[in-house]
């Protein structure tokens, strides 16, 4: 037995997750199949909690909004960053307390604001327009909405441009120069209690200096807002800590993230004589490496490349297609075997971009082999679709040698879903 990456082990040439043989999982539940190691979710969450002992950790539900995973995190005391009424609904159902939920989003519907007010969760307000809508909704409901403003601190997170969210050109947040005015406006509005401040600069961040830069800028704003006489109960610094997708890649840890933020945060709040709660919103770090996607080899073809056609497509894991991201591939039933050939692993979708792994050195592959795509826990299933008439696959949770289905596979009936025919087409 040896460890291949983090919690993943190899026994008798087979890949093992959470004490369970992945080839057995493929047999028992079929493929494609998402498999999550519950203990690893808890380990990752605990690492964040240890690094930020006085902060509240609001798990970013968008990374993986599966009910059972939210439940595991709720039991660990996690809060949640939610970005839609759907995420809010499932987070509450999973037992995350409403006091530990922040409703984020740059384009919320009136219905979503209404629900946030009704359910009493904090709202991160993204524009003047939204502030006024929320004020009216809260006033009509006879309630007061606890709010933060999402600030755009204009910091480059040095990551993929599609997931940089705190640049001045991005669609998110209130420009720094308008922040003081909007807080003073908010403090006059009915139904609104400005009590926090929020930013999130991007995702898969591998250099911690942008976190420090964002903390500097946020604490300058905190000082100004406090100067207006506003009592800031929380400062939410978002998240974005990257994880190592490539084997052996060195990436910052939650402790490095803490070192980039905490000394400055503590020094500045102390100097101001305030003690707001620090909130972090990690998603990828908590779930990214906990999960693999198992997929079976349908067919082999030597053409422009040595193609391996598998039964999962980018409808199940879109990250490589969308961000050119790397996911390590392991032949799960030959996990200890020597690499012998160079392969390109592709899905069955009708697009050239449907490639999971390019030019990888792997043991000799044949039809029926099981490939595991690693680190598929964040923005994997949560970004899946039914494109090309492909029902979504099942999800299984493993722990200490046992496995449970946490989401059944869809079938063609689910493709029909809520579709209907107008009477004239009957």
* Binder among 104, 152, 291, 315 for ligand LLP (CB under 6 A): 104
* Binder among 81, 112, 369, 375 for ligand LLP (CB under 6 A): 81
- The minimum distance between CB 139 and ligand LLP, in angstroms, equals 27
282 binding ligand LLP? (CB under 6 A): yes
* Binder among 204, 295, 315, 384 for ligand LLP (CB under 6 A): 204
For the chain, what is the radius of gyration of the CA atoms?
Answer: 23
- The minimum distance between CB 7 and ligand LLP, in angstroms, equals 19
C-alpha of 139 from chain center = 33
49: tokens are 């909690």
350 is catalytic: yes
* Binder among 10, 25, 35, 60 for ligand LLP (CB under 6 A): 60
269 binding ligand LLP? (CB under 6 A): no
409 binding ligand LLP? (CB under 6 A): no
Interaxial angle between packed helices 179-188 and 128-140, expressed in degrees from 0 to 180 and rounded to the nearest 10: 20
Of the ranges 58-66, 214-222, 225-233, 289-297, which one interacts with ligand LLP (CB under 6 A)? 58-66
Nearer to ligand LLP, 23 or 290 (CB): 290
23 binding ligand LLP? (CB under 6 A): no
* Binder among 15, 33, 63, 96 for ligand LLP (CB under 6 A): 63
281 binding ligand LLP? (CB under 6 A): yes
315 binding ligand LLP? (CB under 6 A): no
Nearer to ligand LLP, 161 or 177 (CB): 161
200 binding ligand LLP? (CB under 6 A): yes
- Side-chain half-sphere of 229: how many Cα atoms within 13 Å? 5
- The minimum distance between CB 27 and ligand LLP, in angstroms, equals 30
108 binding ligand LLP? (CB under 6 A): no
Which one is catalytic: 195, 199, 350, 393? 350
Comparing CA positions, the residue from 288, 285, 293, 336 lying closest to residue 312 is 293
203 binding ligand LLP? (CB under 6 A): yes
Of the ranges 109-117, 180-188, 223-231, 281-289, which one interacts with ligand LLP (CB under 6 A)? 281-289
Give CA separation, 271 vs 56, 104, 146, in Å: 22, 29, 25
238 binding ligand LLP? (CB under 6 A): yes
Number of residues that bind ligand LLP (CB under 6 A): 22
Nearer to ligand LLP, 204 or 208 (CB): 204
| Adjacent-strand bridge partners of 9 | 3, 16
379 binding ligand LLP? (CB under 6 A): yes
321-340: which residues touch ligand LLP (CB under 6 A)? 323
- The minimum distance between CB 340 and ligand LLP, in angstroms, equals 31
- The minimum distance between CB 180 and ligand LLP, in angstroms, equals 22
Nearer to ligand LLP, 21 or 81 (CB): 81
Of the ranges 133-141, 239-247, 252-260, 386-394, which one interacts with ligand LLP (CB under 6 A)? 239-247
150: tokens are 């999402």
Active site residues: 350
Residues that bind ligand LLP (CB under 6 A): 60, 62-63, 81, 104, 163, 200, 203-204, 238-241, 281-285, 319, 323, 378-379
């Amino acid at each position: 037995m040896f460890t291949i990456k983090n919690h993943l082990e190899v026994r008798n040439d087979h890949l093992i997750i959470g004490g369970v043989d992945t080839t057995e999982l493929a047999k028992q539940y079929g493929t494609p199949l998402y498999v999550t190691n519950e203990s690893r979710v808890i380990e990752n969450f605990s690492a964040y909690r240890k690094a930020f002992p006085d902060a509240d950790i609001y798990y970013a539900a968008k990374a993986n909004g599966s009910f059972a995973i939210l439940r595991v995190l709720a039991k660990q005391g996690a809060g949640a960053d939610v970005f839609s009424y759907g995420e809010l609904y499932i987070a509450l159902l999973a037992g995350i307390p409403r006091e530990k939920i922040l409703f984020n989003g740059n384009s919320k519907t009136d219905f979503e604001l209404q629900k946030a007010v009704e359910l009493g969760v904090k709202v991160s307000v993204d524009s003047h327009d939204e502030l006024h809508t929320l004020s009216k909704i809260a006033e009509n409901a006879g309630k007061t909405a606890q709010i933060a403003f999402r600030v755009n601190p204009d910091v480059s997170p040095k990551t993929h441009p599609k997931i940089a969210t705190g640049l001045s050109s991005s669609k998110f947040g209130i420009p720094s120069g308008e922040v003081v005015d909007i807080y003073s406006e908010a403090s006059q509005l009915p139904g609104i209690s400005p009590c926090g401040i929020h930013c999130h600069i991007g995702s898969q961040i591998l250099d911690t200096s942008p976190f420090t830069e964002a903390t500097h800028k946020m604490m300058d704003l905190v000082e100004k807002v406090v100067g207006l006489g506003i009592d800031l109960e929380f400062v939410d610094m978002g998240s974005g800590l990257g994880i190592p997708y490539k084997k052996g890649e060195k990436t910052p840890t939650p402790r490095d993230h803490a070192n980039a933020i905490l000394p400055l945060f503590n020094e500045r709040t102390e100097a101001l004589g305030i003690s707001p709660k620090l909130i972090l919103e990690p998603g990828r770090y908590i779930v990214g490496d906990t999960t693999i996607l198992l997929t079976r080899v349908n067919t082999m073809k030597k053409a422009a490349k040595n193609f391996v056609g598998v039964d999962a497509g980018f409808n199940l894991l879109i990250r490589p297609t969308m961000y050119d991201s790397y996911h390590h591939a392991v032949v799960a039933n030959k996990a200890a075997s020597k690499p012998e050939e160079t392969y390109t692993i592709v899905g069955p979708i009708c697009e050239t971009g449907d490639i999971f792994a390019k030019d990888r050195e792997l043991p000799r592959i044949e039809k029926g082999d099981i490939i595991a795509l690693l680190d598929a826990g964040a923005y994997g299933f949560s970004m899946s679709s039914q494109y090309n008439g492909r029902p979504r696959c099942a999800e299984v949770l493993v722990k200490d040698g046992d496995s449970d289905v946490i989401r059944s596979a869809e079938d063609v009936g689910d493709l029909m879903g809520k579709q209907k025919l107008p009477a004239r087409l009957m």
